[in-house]
């Protein structure tokens, strides 16, 4: 007789199983109760409840009511089993759910939580066009929570999506380090009040917010700042942030900027103009914006930035250069990106690593070539950037599909970068890709092994 098959997962220590369950959405964790007697009540002991109800957007009302009734019963049965770490509630749309939202939030924060996320944004809202979804916040932050003394001492991270709040009432939340505000109207004065009232906040993320006249904050103590698809009336961003380590910006236009960050402290900048609708000459504004972050170690740029940046007064390189050590480009290797591709290589003389993430990008209409160049023969007789001779050691190309321009770009690094030690090519192999197509990509990539190398120490790795 064959031995009974062992359930290896169930044999893991209970502490490890609880960690696994805590990473699951609430409903998925609850489903594990049917697995065996051991699992029957195990999920009830997790200290993280993640109730993700986003999929209820198109569910019939009776199903939503049934789920809400289940939640009410669960709260009643476990009112003495309070949370300690994280609580996430996502309800879309939140209409007709006010009672369960209030009861569930009260249950979650009774003993205080470290990480609280309330998300009432409509599932159908489009990130790319926040101006089409301007509206009042769906839900108000529960007023009695402002006076919850346990939250004052424990809450470290607060994320509010389409949830209005009163800025001054967060003054008592002395443990609060990380704040995310999304899908709400937000005035500049509210931002200033929040940062001055809670000086201990280290990270602020603003996503899809509007009514911001400008982001004009004289002094920031933040270590991380994210401004993502916000509607800023004057397109002005100005601040002095001596402690800032990470800055991320996403918008449809480059902002008019006056930013002062500390060299040696600022580590990473991620600049994304992918929401831009069509090409227009804003290279000067973009070059000035980049100049504000000249001292970053890691710089991430998108395809649109490569298409636009050579349209400024400096179409070939940024005078003085950037101190970037690691350049990440999210591009398609499209001809409209070529001049910007070379611009960044010329403008970063200290580069040690280049990462190219290849995927379908926003290729702008009405594109204009910045100078006299034949894009069809672009890869012939290209100049050799300073970093190719002095510092560039590693190139990584992800999502490789072996287009002619992707092959030419790899050839350029192989034949011109004289101290390069590693070129990693990760061939795209999605689960729906035809195996013969993937194999052809690998065959074409392998042809790069026969190109004469500028560096004797170069290893070409194809995966």
Element (H, E) at 272: strand 268-272
Distance between CA atoms of residues 45 and 51, nearest Å? 15
Closest CA relative to residue 168, chosen from 150, 190, 152 = 190
Q: Above 80 in pLDDT, residue 344?
A: yes
* Predicted local confidence at residue 293, as pLDDT: 94
pTM score of the predicted model: 0.84
Six-digit token string for 123 = 């599932």
Distance between CA atoms of residues 304 and 312, nearest Å? 14
Q: Which of 63-77, 89-103, 256-270, 351-365 has the lowest mean pLDDT?
A: 63-77
Higher pLDDT, 303 or 103: 303
Q: Which of 5-19, 233-247, 257-271, 376-390 has the lowest mean pLDDT?
A: 5-19
pLDDT digits (tens, 9 = 90+) for 134-173: 777 778 888 888 888 888 888 999 999 998 899 888 999 9
Six-digit token string for 63 = 């199903």
* Predicted local confidence at residue 110, as pLDDT: 72
Distance between CA atoms of residues 330 and 302, nearest Å? 5
Residue 306: band (very low, low, confident or very high) from pLDDT cuts 50, 70, 90: very high
Indicate the CATH number for domain 48-211.
3.80.10.10
Six-digit token string for 64 = 């939503």
Closest CA relative to residue 424, chosen from 392, 451, 449, 460 = 460
Residue 249's DSSP bridge partners are: 227, 271
Distance between CA atoms of residues 236 and 217, nearest Å? 11
Residue 51: band (very low, low, confident or very high) from pLDDT cuts 50, 70, 90: very low
* Predicted local confidence at residue 34, as pLDDT: 65
Question: Could you tell me if 214 and 234 are in contact, meaning their C-beta atoms sit under 8 angstroms apart?
Answer: yes
Six-digit token string for 132 = 């089409």
Q: Count CA atoms closer than 13 A to 418's CA, side-chain side.
A: 6
Six-digit token string for 160 = 């509010």
Q: Across the chain, what does the average pLDDT equal?
A: 85
Residue 46: band (very low, low, confident or very high) from pLDDT cuts 50, 70, 90: low
Q: What residues contact 260, with CB distance under 8 A and at least 6 apart?
A: 239, 240, 241, 292
Six-digit token string for 434 = 């035809």
Average pLDDT over residues 306-314: 95
Q: Read off the DSSP letter of residue 346.
A: H
């Amino acid at each position: 007789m064959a031995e009974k098959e062992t359930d290896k997962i169930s044999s893991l220590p209970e502490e490890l199983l609880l960690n696994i369950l805590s990473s699951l959405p609430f409903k998925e964790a609850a489903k594990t109760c049917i697995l065996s007697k051991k699992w029957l009540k195990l999920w009830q002991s997790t200290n993280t409840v993640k109730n993700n109800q986003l999929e209820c957007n198109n569910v019939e009302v009776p199903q939503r009511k049934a789920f809400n009734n289940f939640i009410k019963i669960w709260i009643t049965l476990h009112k003495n089993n309070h949370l300690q770490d994280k609580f996430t509630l996502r309800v879309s749309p939140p209409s007709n759910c006010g009672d369960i939202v209030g009861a569930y939030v009260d249950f979650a924060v009774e003993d205080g939580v470290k990480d609280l996320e309330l998300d009432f944004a409509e599932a159908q809202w489009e990130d790319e066009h926040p101006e089409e979804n301007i509206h009042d916040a769906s839900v108000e932050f529960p007023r009695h929570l402002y006076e919850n003394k346990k939250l004052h001492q424990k809450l470290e991270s607060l994320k509010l999506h389409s949830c209005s709040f009163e800025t001054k009432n967060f003054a008592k939340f002395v443990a609060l380090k990380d704040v995310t505000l999304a899908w709400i109207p937000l005035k500049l004065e509210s931002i200033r009040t929040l940062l001055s009232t809670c000086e201990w906040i280290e990270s602020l993320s603003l996503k899809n917010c509007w009514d911001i006249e400008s982001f004009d904050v004289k002094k920031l103590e933040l270590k991380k700042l994210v401004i993502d698809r916000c509607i800023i009336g004057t397109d002005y961003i100005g601040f002095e942030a001596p402690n800032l380590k990470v800055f991320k910006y996403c918008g449809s236009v480059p902002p008019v900027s006056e930013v002062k960050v500390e060299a040696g402290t600022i580590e990473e900048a991620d600049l994304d103009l992918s929401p831009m609708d069509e090409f227009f000459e804003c290279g000067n504004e973009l070059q000035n914006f980049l100049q504000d972050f000249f001292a970053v170690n890691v710089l991430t740029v998108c395809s649109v930035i490569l298409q636009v940046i050579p349209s400024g007064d400096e179409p070939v390189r940024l005078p003085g250069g950037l101190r970037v050590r690691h350049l990440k480009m999210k591009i398609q290797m499209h001809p409209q990106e070529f001049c910007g591709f070379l611009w960044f290589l010329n403008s970063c003389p200290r580069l040690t690593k280049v990462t190219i993430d290849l995927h379908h990008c926003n290729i702008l209409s009405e594109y204009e070539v910045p100078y006299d160049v034949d894009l069809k023969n672009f890869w012939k007789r290209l100049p050799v950037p300073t970093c190719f001779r002095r510092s560039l050691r590693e190139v990584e190309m992800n999502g490789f599909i072996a287009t002619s321009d992707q092959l030419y770009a790899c050839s350029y690094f192989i034949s011109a970068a004289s101290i390069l030690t590693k070129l990693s090519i990760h061939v795209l192999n999605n689960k729906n890709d035809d195996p013969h197509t993937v194999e052809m990509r690998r065959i074409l990539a392998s042809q790069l092994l026969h190109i004469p190398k500028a560096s004797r120490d170069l290893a070409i790795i194809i995966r």
